[in-house]
Structures are given as structure tokens and as C-alpha cells.
Amino acid sequence: MYNVNILMKAIVHMLSAVFLVGCLSMSVRAQVTVTRTATLMGSRFEFTVIEKDSMLAQERIAEAMAEVSRIENLISEWQPHTQISEVNRHAGIRAVQVDREVFDLTARAIQFSKLTHGAFDISIAAMDHIWRFDDTMEALPTAEAIKKSVEKVGFQDIILDSVACTIFLSKLGMKIGFGSIGKGYAADKCRTLMKMKGVVGGIINASGDIATWGNQQHGEAWLIGLRNPFKQHKMVKRLKMRERAVATSGTYEKYVEFEGKRYAHIINPKTGYPSTGLVSVTIYGPSAEFANGLSTSIMVMGVKAGKKVLRKFPHYKGIFITDDGKVLR
């Protein structure tokens, strides 16, 4: 005959073990998704992270925001205390030593300029602002003014010294700026930081330059919809993204019109004239920085030359929308 007390103790121990395992299993599975927006780098950033609880998620988002601010305090050409502002102030005077991070970002930008034959150029920051897209422009600039506006633009005049870690702009009045790839770079860096901190999944949306990692809370891939600017309620494509990035450059929001012709805000650095032929270019692949550089360049280069460049990078795909509404892949 079984000893009832011993049997009851065994059952209690067994139930306790099951309850403990169940609690451990639930604690592993327990997650929350938290999203927060902020204005950084003069743009809207949205941070989404999956963490064990809301407090920890908010802490991680604060760390990501601090990372964006750190980058902005290195590369902004608008804030006078940054290393890039120091480089710009000494254009034509002397080389300026910078952090290796700033040097490497500049070097990658120059390589991109070479790859695209000048369609991408961070020295476009020196261009005279003869094109204005804030409703204050009353007439087209003259051909002479447009030609003069790009006199100090030219990536060939950015001199790098890797040993000394210096940047020298060889012409007086030159400037460099990272408006084209800075936010994508920040999104990539935040993703790296969050993964290092053990965040299992999330999205960094840097005003349309998006970096994702992991899955949504219930295991599905992140879903990013690409809208058609000609059909606002229709998606061109829905991207399922895990460890991916996407960037879109477009001319459908900032432009001016004269005599029925549209002139958009993406300027060809070589000519000073607005890009034509394409309304938007979306590039998706591993890096938001690289995707943004490609999308901006292809807007200037056009479909044929842009596709030729894109084929050199099989990990990246593109969707082009022409000014007559055609969607090309």
C-alpha cells in the first residue's frame, strides 16, 4: 500500500516543478513592443524595439537616441561645434584632423562619388541655394547663375590623409555635408548598438531610411509598405524584412513648377539642374547608408545608368517610378 503522505509530497514537488518551468517559459516568452518618435538631425526618427518590459525598452530607445545625437554632433554641417563644420571653416586653408569614424564615412562617400561618376557628391553642400522649394521662388534661375552655383562642388577636391586622419577641402568656400547618407548611417549604427545590447528585434526609421532586425513580437517579419506617389492608396510593394534596410529618394513632395514643368529638389551635382525622369527610387538591401546613397545617385543618373550601377551589388534591389507613372524593377 502506498504511503499517502509520501505520494502527496511527490505530487506537490512535481506540480511545483511544472509551475516553475511554466513560469520560466512564460518569462522567456514575455515581451513588449515599444515605439517612440523624436526629432533628431532635423528630421523625424521613429524607434521600435522589442524588449522584456516597457521600462527596459524605453531605456534602449534612449540609448539609440543618444547614438543619433552623438553622430549628429560629429557630422552636422549646421552646428558650428562639429568636426565637419571645422573642416568646412578651414576649406582652402588647412587640413583638419577628425575622428576615424568621420574619416571613414567621408572616404566611403568619395568612393560612392567615383562609382557614380559624380552623381553622388557630399560637396554639393557648397552649392549656392538658387533653387528654393519653400514657395518663395518666383522665377527660374538663369543659366549663368546655375553654372556659377556649382563652381565649388567637386569630390575630386576633397583630400584625405589616412595616416594623419585629416580632411582637406582644397578650394576656398568648399563645404561637405552628409544630408544624403547621414540618417541612413545613423539608422545602421543604432541597429548595431541595439543588437549589441541584446535587443531581439526592432526598426529604426530615420525619416524614411529604415533599418530592421529580428522579427516582430509574434515571430512575423517586419512589413514595410512602399506607396505609389501617383496612387496614394496603393502599395507598389510590401517588403518582408528581418535583417534588412530600405531607403527611398523622391521628388514628389518638394518641387516647384514653372510653365507647367516640374523642377524637384534633388539636384545634379555636376550641372546644378534638378534631376529629371524619375519620381522616386527605392533601394533595399543590408545597409541603410548604402541604400540611401544608391537611391539618391540613381535619381540623378536615371534608369539606364542606375540599373547598371545597381547590378554591381547583387545584395541590393531597386524599384523605380518614372515621371509618367511607370513602375520599373
Instruction: For residue 242, give the nearest of 277, 282, 285, 278 by alpha carbon.
Output: 285
Bridge-partner residues for 37, per DSSP? Answer: 46
* 219 vs 216: CA distance, rounded Å: 5
The DSSP bridge pattern shows strands 43-51 and 201-206 to be antiparallel
Contact 201, 304 (CB under 8 A): no
Decide: helix, strand or coil at residue 34: strand
- Tell me, what amino acid is at 274? P
Q: Annotation-wise, does 296 bind a ligand?
A: yes
C-alpha count within 13 angstroms, C-beta hemisphere, residue 118: 12
At CA 303, angle to CA 300 and CA 307, rounded to 5? 105
Q: Binding site membership: which residues?
A: 180, 296
Q: Binding site membership for Mg(2+): which residues?
A: 180, 296
